[in-house]
Amino acid sequence: MRHLIVVLGDQLNRDSAAFDKFDPAKDAVWMAEVTEESTHVWSHKARIALFLSAMRHFRDALREEGIRVHYRELSEGSLADFLKRDIAKLKPQRVIAAEPGDYRVRDSLAPMIEFVEDRHFLCSTAEFREHARGRKQLRMEFFYREMRRRHEVLMDGGQPVGGQWNFDHENRGAFGKAGPLGLPAPRRFQADAITKKVIGLVGKKFAKHPGSLEDFDWPVTPGEALDALDDFIAHRLPLFGQYQDAMWTAEPWLYHSRISAAMNLKLLNPRDAIRAAEKADAPLAAREGFIRQILGWREYVRGVYWLRMPEYVEGNALDAHARLPKFYWTAETDMACLREAIGQTLRYGYAHHIQRLMVTGLYALVAGVDPRQVHEWYLAVYVDAVEWVELPNTIGMSQFADGGYLASKPYAATGKYIARMSNYCAGCRYDPAESTGERACPITTHYWDFLIRNEAKLKKIPRMEMQLRNLVRIAPAKKKAIRERAQELRDAH
Ligand code: FAD
Ligand code: SF4
């Protein structure tokens, strides 16, 4: 055999650089489903099912093209061990793969594989390194502008379309009291024979893993992923911007696209999503808001991941050591916002960005949970979880554990933020305005405790000045009561 092309579970793009010069007469593909990839950290059942189903569909599509695929169905063990064994058997002249998206996997496979650039992304790791060179702190906004210019997205004669780069101020709407009326239901994808078989297998083999398989309806092929994108562009993009940060009880999808998992598995090319939004019949603020997430945030966090690993995962700038509350795995809590966000996470493997950042992430941040445990939770519970995107979002953006490398300040807020952006508080036994007493909102209590606890460190962050100023107005006795209640809450975790 000439070349053996290794395709990992999140590299399901036929236009990958690994297939350049592929010759079906001389070359073959190698793929493997191994238990280690679902167990090295705990993993949602729907996430495992999605990977396995998408991989099997990809395998079958390659075989239909006449390509030889050496495919190992679910086996106990690690990728590296199986690959080593198969290389010894098949004796290829070269073993080639696109760069893996996970430091651990790259490290374990590097001795056996020649890696080629992952062309799925719009910014290569070398280009990002160049962007970061000489900068003490990185900021997404500057990176995003570079990307807009380089790829000529929403540009007009060298200037941003509409005369500004950013429409964030138009994109922070909440629903009124009546809630989101006439929400367009997202397109669902019925399980075919392959997916049904995988769901049965995962249900049995990973019965103890978190999450449910009952509502599994994710796209598992490139065709379905494009349908999901088209459905979003036609029906939800126009209001995506306005309600991007809003939340509502029992409405997990709202105006979000649900394409992250398909994109992360490379079933969907981000260029297709960006171009579709650019030319869509939707307000500029919505189109720009959506494009910013993909061309900006998604590429930016990947750049940070490869720049800062492996030490990035060790970050704990705020010295947070509390354990992750048990209710993160059960959704059994009186806090309505966390019950909702975690409940839908366990049911669907999905929560939108603000639920992740400003509900589950916020609670963990202000309660002082160990960032490593928070990272392992996020990596476990979402269908779209892959480390290059999950880790910087958790360690950097959500937990400020990198000390401000990725974000300019911690995303810390009281329960009043959640009251403003959702209807959760209306159905909660706590009061977001209270920090002590029976009805005190635990997020509000933890928020003030967070400021008191970290005051010296937070004083060094210019953008925290306003928030810290409010601390001065709190009497010492009240501060003491807040600190005691916060500790009681932590002890009850
Ligand atoms: P939409 O809201 O419709 O956004 C469109 C697309 O933009 C998404 O599909 C996604 O590809 C991209 N995007 C949006 N925000 C981000 C972001 N902050 N970083 C990178 N890409 C972004 N996203 C993942 O894909 N995998 C993860 O494991 C993951 N973990 C996260 C952990 C935390 C703590 C936080 C705060 C965010 C995380 N995100 C992650 C980012 C974001 O929450 C999800 O991409 C988004 O919720 C997916 O839903 P959607 O496809 O409906 O997105
Ligand atoms: Fe969440 Fe506090 Fe509102 Fe309850 S009162 S839903 S705990 S923010």
Instruction: Kindly give the number of the ligand 2 atom that is closest to the alpha carbon of 428.
Output: 4
Query: What pLDDT does residue 169 have?
Result: 83
* pLDDT for residue 241 is more than 80: yes
Query: What pLDDT does residue 469 have?
Result: 95
* pLDDT for residue 107 is more than 80: yes
Query: What pLDDT does residue 438 have?
Result: 93
Among the residues of 321-464, which ranges form H helices? 336-348, 353-355, 361-367, 371-381, 387-391, 415-421, 442-453, 455-458
For residue 211, the one-letter residue type is G
Query: What pLDDT does residue 419 have?
Result: 98
Mean pLDDT over 290-315 rounds to 97
* pLDDT for residue 41 is more than 90: no
Q: Band the pLDDT of 44: cuts 50, 70, 90.
A: very high
Query: What pLDDT does residue 477 have?
Result: 97
The rounded distance, in Å, linking the Cα atoms of 131 and 487 is: 43
Q: Is the CB of 336 under 6 A from ligand 2?
A: yes
For the segment 128-172, what is each residue's pLDDT rounded down to a tens digit? 999 999 888 889 999 999 999 999 999 999 999 999 999 988 878
Nearest CA residue ID for atom 41, ligand 1:
353
For the segment 249-300, what is each residue's pLDDT rounded down to a tens digit? 999 999 999 999 999 999 999 999 999 999 999 999 999 999 999 999 999 9
* pLDDT for residue 110 is more than 90: yes
Query: What pLDDT does residue 145 have?
Result: 97
Q: Is the CB of 337 under 6 A from ligand 2?
A: yes
CB 446 within 8 A of CB 367: yes
Cβ neighbors of 36 (< 8 A, separation 6 or more) are 77, 78, 79
Specify the range with the lowest mean pLDDT, choosing from 37-41, 75-79, 450-454: 37-41
With a pLDDT cut of 70, the percent of the chain lying above it is 100
Q: Band the pLDDT of 38: cuts 50, 70, 90.
A: confident
Count of CB atoms situated within 10 Å of the CB of 141: 15
Sign of the dihedral defined by the CA atoms of residues 361, 366, 369, 370, in that order: positive
For residue 19, the one-letter residue type is F
Query: What pLDDT does residue 346 have?
Result: 98
Count of CB atoms situated within 10 Å of the CB of 259: 23
Which of 302, 378, 389, 399 maximizes ligand 1 atoms within 8 Å of its Cβ, making it the mutation to test the pocket?
389
Mean pLDDT computed over every residue of the chain: 96
Largest Cα–Cα separation, the chain? 79
For the segment 465-483, what is each residue's pLDDT rounded down to a tens digit? 999 999 999 999 999 999 9
Nearest CA residue ID for atom 2, ligand 2:
441
CB 187 within 8 A of CB 227: yes
Query: What pLDDT does residue 399 have?
Result: 98
Which helix (H) or strand (E) segment holds residue 289: the answer is helix 284-291
Cβ neighbors of 113 (< 8 A, separation 6 or more) are 6, 83, 95, 96, 97
* pLDDT for residue 366 is more than 80: yes
Mean pLDDT over 413-440 rounds to 97
Angle CA 356–361–366, to nearest 5 = 155
For the segment 174-222, what is each residue's pLDDT rounded down to a tens digit? 999 889 989 999 999 999 999 999 999 999 999 999 999 999 999 999 9
Query: What pLDDT does residue 77 have?
Result: 87
Q: Is the CB of 247 under 6 A from ligand 2?
A: no
Which ligand is located closest to the Cα atom of residue 341? Answer: 2
